[in-house]
Amino acid sequence: MTDPIAAAFIDNPAFIPYLAAGDPGPFDEPPSADDAVAQTSAYIDALVAGGADIVELGLPHSEPIADGPTIQQASVRALEAGMTPDRFFELVDDLPADLPIVAMTYYNMVYRYGGSPGVDEFIEAAAAAGVDGIIVPDLPVEESDPLCAAARDAGVHIIFIAAPTTTDERLAAVMQRCSGYLYVQARLGTTGSQTDVSDQTRSSLGRVRSFETNFERDPLPKAVGFGVSSGEQAADIVAAGADGVIVGSALIDEITGAGTDRARAERQLEALATELAAGTERGAARRQSGPERT
Amino acid sequence: MSSDGMFGEFGGQFVPEALMPAIEELTDAYDRYVQENEAGFMDDLQSHLRSFGGRPTPIQRADQLSERYGCEVYLKREDLVHGGAHKLNNALGQVLLAQYMDKERIIAETGAGQHGTATTMSCAHLGMPCEIYMGRHDVNRQRPNVFRMRLNGATVNPVDIGRGTLKEAISETMRDWARTVETTHYVIGSVVGPHPYPAMVRDFQSVIGREAKRQLREEIGELPDAVVACAGGGSNAMGSFAPFVEESSVDLHAVEAGGSDLSIDGDTGIAPNSATLSIGTRGVLHGSHTKILQDEDGQIMESHSVSAGLDYAGVGPELAALVESGRLTAATVDDDTALEAFHRLSQTEGIIPALETAHAFGYLEAHGEALGDTVLVTVSGRGDKDLETVIEESHRRELDVGFDLSVFDAEVQ
């Protein structure tokens, strides 16, 4: 069987939306956890209808130090609505089997899952639920050996982030351990919308590619995130050589902006997803036709 | 500590990749300037600590307490450091180090405002721009310190997330650092965070224990039987203990905030205490593997203490390791006992201690007769910042403090 994440990058660049699992959107009184999870499923349906190739799902943590205000607020809403790791895995288990799912969460959530310290129980539960990859934004390569080993045995990818500040030496360590795709952080800061990310993206992608050439590593798909909010940005990023575009905060802004009107949130989510997926394809066409690739 | 920043199983570097190059740069600077005194950094720091900070601070025999507990009680007077707390030892060290590293800007979190104040004073003294993050709840209960920080020319950013205490302030400062890491140094205020912070802050603070050890030798010619210090994140405790860890005859006691109750409520996510060493479990918070107050899913609890400076759901990894190995005794003192100790020290010794410090004296009241012949207690800070809280809380709890509190009724509406 082809690896679902690898399959998502074949032929066309991948559009990869992010949502905080269990975040129903703004509320006056928190809904039941079941309703919140069902709402997340409906949002995922909207993203898939809009052209999502992989979905990144955040398992909310009380201390999201790498996230900006939009995802922080979504995490708070999800926790208030009763999101737990077990409900997260049930949610993933109920999603269509052919949709690649990447779980994104903080290390303490991985380490504490199952009640005793260690990473094995989280990896087992993730693999059983159908999680294809895991991103842990507060886990640098130095601390990642236990998780990487457990994930390799379970057939789950561990996806690492390459930042604008990542040195060549660190990039080598990141590339050695990373599987599935490389998350290329387009700019410094926490997650959140931003206007211009293309210059930084171009130089980051160039560095990763020259690393792959120099070390004869099998190329990993490179997906760019942090600050992407429009179809035009997605097109620019793919034209600059990215294999995928990751969008989180801009999509959650659509959910937040719809207030308590869930049907409207779903419509807006699908509309923005459609624009971003189209931008991703447009970028691929520009790349094939032209001199833009550096 | 091993070279990778581990204290036994505790410690490490759990931070986003974007920050790791800065952490590596800081580790290199710590190794060279702090540990090896490159470019005379430690001499320079010592000179600033002497002329600007008022070091060395004295030790003092507490005559009334000695009589009360039937042992020799010595106080290490960190309340006499410039700014009124031990916090300057670390803040001045890190701001000076940032200058040696050619950083252009300083950020810091603060709980009670003592670390924030020490940082803004150091920045004003050394000419560095400075921004402080402080939880909204703490801003409201520590207003004099907010005013002091602004007097020093710093920007104070209230943090409205969560309960608005130290935990949220640290998370928000890390977010600022993720944006500005290339030009900015983050002055962490306790022995917490990713390596090298726990080791570096301990080294800057261990001037407390080093001086006390030398002063006791001069005064009484021997080591104490016990060292007692309050512990929130644990910088005052680690600074007091570090020079005594190798002295096996000296017992070490870290006193945590027992708050109102030692239970934790997983459903509400609230721990009505800050007793991390005593009842916490292993986990990863703010960059290091340590003991933390958390629920069964790994969500961090909201801690509580009458003392803002102890109100934190984590603790330094080295302290967690020392408790785990049995070298260090962790104990708790609840809010009421700490408030009573606050009044006792004020009345019997003429020292108005910080509410954080009062926890150490609450422990002395409960166990003073069983700690040995000579006991060293660190007075980590002075209590001027806590006066409003103490008036309100003493009144509300109807504590017998030896005088009539009703005269303050007008102020406590």
Q: What are residue B85's DSSP bridge partners? A: B381
Q: Which residue has the higher pLDDT, B231 or B400?
A: B231
- Mean pLDDT score, B393-403: 86
In this predicted model, what pLDDT tens digit does every residue of B278-335 receive, in sequence order?
999 999 999 999 999 999 999 999 888 999 889 899 999 999 999 999 999 999 999 9
Full DSSP string of B224-241: -SEEEEE-SSSHHHHHHH
> Distance (Å, rounded) from C-alpha A5 to C-alpha A179?
10
> Distance (Å, rounded) from C-alpha B251 to C-alpha B268?
37
A58 to chain B, any CB pair closer than 8 A? The answer is no
What single DSSP character describes residue B303? P
In this predicted model, what pLDDT tens digit does every residue of A225-239 receive, in sequence order?
988 999 999 999 999
Contacts of residue A227, defined as CB under 8 A and 6 or more positions apart, other chains included, come to A186, A187, A189, A191, A192, A193, A194, A195, A197
**Burial label, B336 (beta-carbon count in 10 A; 0-12, 13-18, 19+):** middle
Q: Would the pLDDT of B37 be above 90?
A: yes
List the single residue in B167, B180, B284 with the smallest CB-CB distance to A108: B284
DSSP element (H, E) containing B166: helix B166-180
Dihedral angle sign, alpha carbons of residues B14, B16, B18, B19: negative
List the single residue in A63, A138, A174 with the smallest CB-CB distance to B16: A138
Nearest to A118 by CA among A145, A137, A141, A138: A145
pLDDT in tens, chain A (294 residues): 579 999 999 989 999 999 999 999 999 999 999 999 999 999 999 999 999 999 999 999 999 999 988 999 999 999 999 999 999 999 999 999 999 999 999 999 999 999 889 999 999 999 999 999 999 999 999 999 999 999 999 999 999 999 999 999 999 999 999 999 999 998 887 777 665 666 778 888 988 888 888 777 778 999 999 889 999 999 999 999 999 999 999 999 999 999 999 999 999 999 999 999 999 999 999 988 765 444
Q: Which one is catalytic: A23, A56, A254, A266?
A: A56
Q: Enter the ipTM.
A: 0.94
- What's residue B200's pLDDT? 98
Q: Would the pLDDT of B412 be above 50?
A: no
Tokens linked to B134: 């402080």
Residue of A nearest to B172 (CA): A65
**Angle CA A43–A46–A51, to nearest 5:** 130
- Mean pLDDT score, B88-96: 98
Task: State whether A165 and B18 contact (CB < 8 Å).
Answer: yes
Q: What are residue A55's DSSP bridge partners? A: A101
Task: State whether A112 and B297 contact (CB < 8 Å).
Answer: yes
First vs last C-alpha separation in chain B: 51
Name the minimum distance, in Å, from the CA of A289 to any CA of chain B. 34
Which residues in chain B have their CB less than 8 angstroms from residue A185's CB? 17-18
Nearest to B259 by CA among B301, B304, B321: B304
**Could you write out the three-class secondary structure of B274-333?**
CCHHHHCEEEEECCEEEEECECCCCCECECCCCCHHHCCCCCCHHHHHHHHCCCEEEEEE
Classify A113 as helix, strand or coil. Answer: coil
- Mean pLDDT score, B173-183: 91
Domains belonging to chain A, first-starting first, are 4-289 (3.20.20.70)
Tokens linked to B84: 């009124």
Domains belonging to chain B, first-starting first, are 6-51+87-201 (3.40.50.1100), 59-84+206-412 (3.40.50.1100)
Task: Decide if A170 contacts B186 (C-beta within 8 A).
Answer: no
**Burial label, B249 (beta-carbon count in 10 A; 0-12, 13-18, 19+):** exposed
Number of A/B CB contacts below 8 angstroms equals 119
Which residues in chain B have their CB less than 8 angstroms from residue A66's CB? 16, 175, 178
Tokens linked to B317: 């990894």
Tokens linked to B82: 């410039």
Nearest to B156 by CA among B188, B121, B110, B192: B110
> Distance (Å, rounded) from C-alpha A66 to C-alpha A71?
10
Task: Decide if A258 contacts A268 (C-beta within 8 A).
Answer: yes
**Amino acid identity of B296?**
E
Tokens linked to B174: 């890390």
